[in-house]
Structure 1
Amino acid sequence: MMKIAILVGLFPPKWLAGTEIATYHLAEHLTQRGHEVHVITSQDEGLPELSKEKGFYIHRIAWPKIRIVGAITFWTKICLKIQKIKPDIVHAQSLPTSIPAWASKKHLKIPYVVWGQGSDIYLPGSFIRMAYKTILKNADAVLALTEDMKQRMLEISNRDISVVPNGIGLEQFNIKSGEKKKGNSKTIIFVGRLHPVKGVSYLIEAMAIVHRGMADAKLILVGDGTERSRLEKLVEKLDLNGCIQFTGQVQQERIPTMLQQADLFALPSLSESFGIVNLEAMAAGLPIVATNVGGIPDIVVEGVNGYLVNAKRPSEIADRIIMLLWNDKIREEISVNNMEKAKLYAWDIVAGKVEKEYQMAIRRSMDIEITNLRRMH
C-alpha cells in the first residue's frame, strides 16, 4: 500500500472539467486498489478544509487573490500539507501544480510524478516554459495523455515520458430500458464548453448543409459558455431554430443518458488535448465526427470508430454527418466497435497503469538516493 498525495488546482463538486473529473475518478480507483489517497486542491466557499469521500481525503487550501504573492502563498501551504501527510509519492495533475511537488522533492526527498493534462502543455508562455523544463527534468516519472502531448512535452524536456490516457466510468453507460433512443428522427449531439476553441460555430454552419437534405435532423448542444449568445444569433441567422437546441449546463450524471438518446457525436474543436467526452460517446455506442487536432487522433481511428475532418471546415463536417446518418449499417458497426474499445479506458485499468508508474518512480528515486550516498562515501 502507498500513501499518495495528488495535487490539482480545482476539484468537484464546483469544478467539472476534464482534469477535475479525471482526478476524482483516479483518487477513487486508487483508493479501491488499497492505497491511502490525499487530494490537495484549492478552497471553495462553503466546503470544509478537510473531508473524506469515496474513501479518499480532500484537503482544500485557501488561495489568496493576489497575483504572484497569492500563488507563492498557495504553493507554500501545499508544501506544508505534503510535509504533514508524509506521502510515499506526490502526483501533480498538470505542470502548474508541479511546483510544490518539485519543492517537496528538493527539501523532503519525496519523489513526484507529473501528468500533463492539456492547456498546461499546449499554451505555456516562454517564462513558464523555462520553469516547466526544470520540473520535467527532475520528475521521477512523467505522463502524457496522448502521443501528440508527449511530443509537445519532449520539446520542453527530452526525457522518458509514458502515454497514459484518462479513463471513463463505464458503469454509467449501462443502457437501461426506457433510456434508449425513440423515434426515427436523427440526432447529433455535442457536449462541452461553448467557447471559441470548441469550434461550435462550424458545427452549426454544417447543420445548415445537413438540414437541406435531412429536414428532421436535429443538433443538441449540451453545455454553456461565453460564446452562447453569439451562437444563438448564428442559429437565428441561418434559420435553424427548429433543429438546434441549447440545453445549457447539465449535471454530469445526465450526460450518459443524453448521449444514448442520440445517433452521432460531433466534436469540431480547433484544439483538443484529449477530449474525454469522446470516450463517453464511445461508451454510449455513438459514431464520432471530430476534428483531426491535438490528441483526438489517439482516440478516433478513421473509419473504425468515427471520422476525422479538418478544423474550420463546415462542409467536411456536414459530409461525414450526412454519410453516417444515411448509413445505418456503418453506424451499427461503429457503435459495436466503440463500446468494445471504450472498455480499454475503464478507470480501473488506467489506475493500474498509474499505480505501476508510481512504483517505478519510487524505485527510481531510491536507486538515485543510494547512488548519491555511495558517492559521498
Structure 2
Amino acid sequence: MANSPLSIAMISDFFHPNVGGVENHIYMLSVNLLRRGHKVIVITHSYPPDRVGVRWLLPGLKVYYIPFTTLVSSATLPDFLTFLPYFRNIILRERITLIHAHASLSALGHEGILHAHLLGVRTVFTDHSLFGFADAASILTNKLLEATMRTVGATICVSHTGRENTVLRANLAPEDVYVIPNSLIADQFLPAATPLTSDTVTIVVVSRLAYRKGVDLLVAAAPRICAACPNVRFVVGGDGPKLIDLLQMREKYFLQDRIELLGPVLHRDVPKVLTRGAIFLNTSLTEAFGTAILEAACAGLYIVSTRVGGVPEILPEDMISFALPTEDDIFRAIVEAIDIVQHGKHDPHRAHERIRGFYDWKQVAVRTEKVYRAVMDSPPQNLWTRIERTMGLGPFVGPIFTIILAVDCLFFMCLEYWYPREDIDYVDKQWGKHRFEEVLET
C-alpha cells in the first residue's frame, strides 16, 4: 500500500555516542520517521567500554551495537562476510523491508547494501562527504562506492555539490541521485536574549581541529586579525590533532587573553558557545554541507566561510561572507564581517527566523519518505542483473566483486541451513510501537 508504514534499518559506522554531522543526521531522521508512523532501528558497531548489544534512545529508537572493533576514524574493517550472520538475524527478526546506509567510509553501510538483496530488502544510500579523485585512498573508496551503487535502489546527497561529486565518483546517472539537505532544530539555537553591548567583537570557531577543517588557515590568520583589530577576540571549541598548533600559535604571539581554547564541546553545549559571539568563522578546505554553519546562523551569528563544496548553497548571500581558502582572503572577509556586525547591518533575530523557515527535519523526513516509496515501487533486481552490473565495473575490478558476490550468496545459503528462519526469535510487531507511544505520553 502507498501509505503503509515501512520497517527501516539505518546502517552506519557513525552513530551516537560519537558526535558529528552524520550521527546527528541519522538520529534526527530516524526520530522524525518514527513520528510519521514508520518502524526504525539503527545498526552500528560497539563503542568502548560497554556500549554493545541492544540499546534504546529517546524517544523510542532501538539501536543494535554489533560487537565489532573500529579500524580508524570510527570505521570498522570491511570484510564483507563477518557482518552477514548479525545482519541476517536482525533484518529477519525485526521484519525490515528497507535499509538506509549512510557515509561512503562506512564499511557496515556497504556490507548492508551487499547483503540486503539476499533477503529481498530494498536499499537507499546517503553520501555525506566530498572526496577527491587523484590520491590512492580516494581511488579505492570511489571504486568501492561505484561497486555498491551498482545494486542500490536510490542515492541521496546532502547538497547539489555533493551530488555532482558522487555522480562522478560512482559513475551514476545524475537523474538517479536525489538532493535532501541536512537540517536542525531551530529552537535549540536561539540568539542571545539581549544584544551584545560590549565593543569587543567575538569570533567563534566550533570545529573538529583537523587538517580538512582548515585549522592551518586559522593558525595563520588569527594573529593578523588580532594585530589589526584590537577589539577582536576568538573563542575556539573543538578537539583534534591540530589543537597543538593552536596552542603553539597562542603562545608564540602572546594571545592567551585574546584566543580562548575550550577543548571538546558537547553538542548540547554548542548553543551556549555560539551565543557568546557575533561572527562564526569556518575555514574548511572541503565541506559537503556544513551543519555547524547552519547552527551558527540560526543562533544569530554572521558567517564567514571559505567558498568550498556545498557551503554556498546553505545561506542567503546577505548572511555570509565568503573567502578563498587563503590567509589573506580570510583576513579580508573577517574585516568586512566586523564592519557589518559593528554597524548593525546584521539582525540576529531576523536571521534566526529565516533559518527556521528554510530548514525543518519534518520536511527532510517527508522528502526522504518519498524516496523510500519510489524504491519500494521499483522492480527488484534478481541475481543475474546484479552479476551483470557488477561485471560492468571493469575487466579487473568486475570479477573481484563478482566473486565476493558469489561467496556472499554461498555463505548466506549455509546460514539458511545452519540457522533456519523458524528458529529466529522474532520481535512483536506492535511492541516497539507501544513503547514509542508510551514515551511520547510521558
Among 95, 98, 103, which residue is 2:109 paired with?
98
- Residues 1:174 and 2:179 are matched in the alignment: no
Gap change, CA 1:56 and 1:175, over 3 Å in 2: same
AA aligned opposite 1:157: N
| C-alpha contact 1:220 1:246 (8 A) present in aligned 2 | yes
Displacement of 1:215: 0.8
Among 57, 60, 63, which residue is 1:55 paired with?
60
- For residues 69 and 235 of structure 2, the distance between their equivalents in structure 1, rounded to whole angstroms, comes to 39
Instruction: Note the residue ranges of structure 1 that are not aligned, 5 or more in a row.
Output: 373-377
- Residues 1:21 and 2:36 are matched in the alignment: no
Counterpart in 1 of 2:237? Answer: 222
AA aligned opposite 1:174: L
- For residues 227 and 29 of structure 1, the distance between their equivalents in structure 2, rounded to whole angstroms, comes to 36
SS at structure 1 position matched to 2:305: strand
AA aligned opposite 1:144: C
- Residues 1:250 and 2:265 are matched in the alignment: yes
Per-residue CA distance 1:71-111 (angstroms, 9 max, x = gap): 64135523432233221211001233432332333211111
- For residues 221 and 12 of structure 1, the distance between their equivalents in structure 2, rounded to whole angstroms, comes to 23
Deviates more, 1:233-242 or 1:94-103: 94-103
Q: TM-score, normalised by structure 1?
A: 0.88
Gap change, CA 1:6 and 1:232, over 3 Å in 2: same
SS at structure 1 position matched to 2:64: strand
AA aligned opposite 1:90: I
Displacement of 1:120: 6.7
Per-residue CA distance 1:224-266 (angstroms, 9 max, x = gap): 1111112211222233222111000122111112112210000
| C-alpha contact 1:52 1:58 (8 A) present in aligned 2 | yes
SS at structure 2 position matched to 1:356: helix
SS at structure 1 position matched to 2:281: strand
Counterpart in 2 of 1:7? Answer: 11
- For residues 230 and 153 of structure 1, the distance between their equivalents in structure 2, rounded to whole angstroms, comes to 33
- For residues 197 and 84 of structure 2, the distance between their equivalents in structure 1, rounded to whole angstroms, comes to 52
AA aligned opposite 1:4: I
Alignment of 1:182-261 (within 5 A): 183-261=198-276
Per-residue CA distance 1:275-295 (angstroms, 9 max, x = gap): 210110111111111111112
Displacement of 1:315: 1.9
AA aligned opposite 1:290: S
Gap change, CA 1:277 and 1:339, over 3 Å in 2: farther
Counterpart in 2 of 1:375? Answer: none
Instruction: Note the residue ranges of structure 2 that are not aligned, 5 or more in a row.
Output: 386-442
Deviates more, 1:331-340 or 1:76-85: 331-340
Counterpart in 1 of 2:321? Answer: 307
Counterpart in 2 of 1:144? Answer: 157
- For residues 243 and 41 of structure 1, the distance between their equivalents in structure 2, rounded to whole angstroms, comes to 41
Per-residue CA distance 1:331-354 (angstroms, 9 max, x = gap): 425763464035322211211111
- For residues 332 and 69 of structure 2, the distance between their equivalents in structure 1, rounded to whole angstroms, comes to 50
- For residues 84 and 115 of structure 2, the distance between their equivalents in structure 1, rounded to whole angstroms, comes to 10
- For residues 126 and 307 of structure 2, the distance between their equivalents in structure 1, rounded to whole angstroms, comes to 23
- For residues 125 and 324 of structure 1, the distance between their equivalents in structure 2, rounded to whole angstroms, comes to 36
Counterpart in 2 of 1:154? Answer: 167
Gap change, CA 1:364 and 1:70, over 3 Å in 2: closer
How large is the Cα RMSD of the aligned pairs? Answer: 2.6
Displacement of 1:204: 3.5
Displacement of 1:177: 4.3
| C-alpha contact 1:5 1:89 (8 A) present in aligned 2 | yes
Displacement of 1:50: 1.0
Among 117, 121, 128, which residue is 2:128 paired with?
117
Moved over 6 A (4+): 120-123
Gap change, CA 1:69 and 1:167, over 3 Å in 2: closer
- For residues 202 and 359 of structure 2, the distance between their equivalents in structure 1, rounded to whole angstroms, comes to 26
AA aligned opposite 2:182: N
- Residues 1:294 and 2:297 are matched in the alignment: no
Gap change, CA 1:125 and 1:79, over 3 Å in 2: farther
- For residues 147 and 229 of structure 2, the distance between their equivalents in structure 1, rounded to whole angstroms, comes to 55
Equivalenced residues, count: 365
SS at structure 2 position matched to 1:166: coil
SS at structure 2 position matched to 1:327: helix
- For residues 55 and 342 of structure 1, the distance between their equivalents in structure 2, rounded to whole angstroms, comes to 26
- Residues 1:327 and 2:350 are matched in the alignment: no
Larger radius of gyration: 2
Deviates more, 1:321-330 or 1:351-360: 321-330
- For residues 275 and 345 of structure 1, the distance between their equivalents in structure 2, rounded to whole angstroms, comes to 13
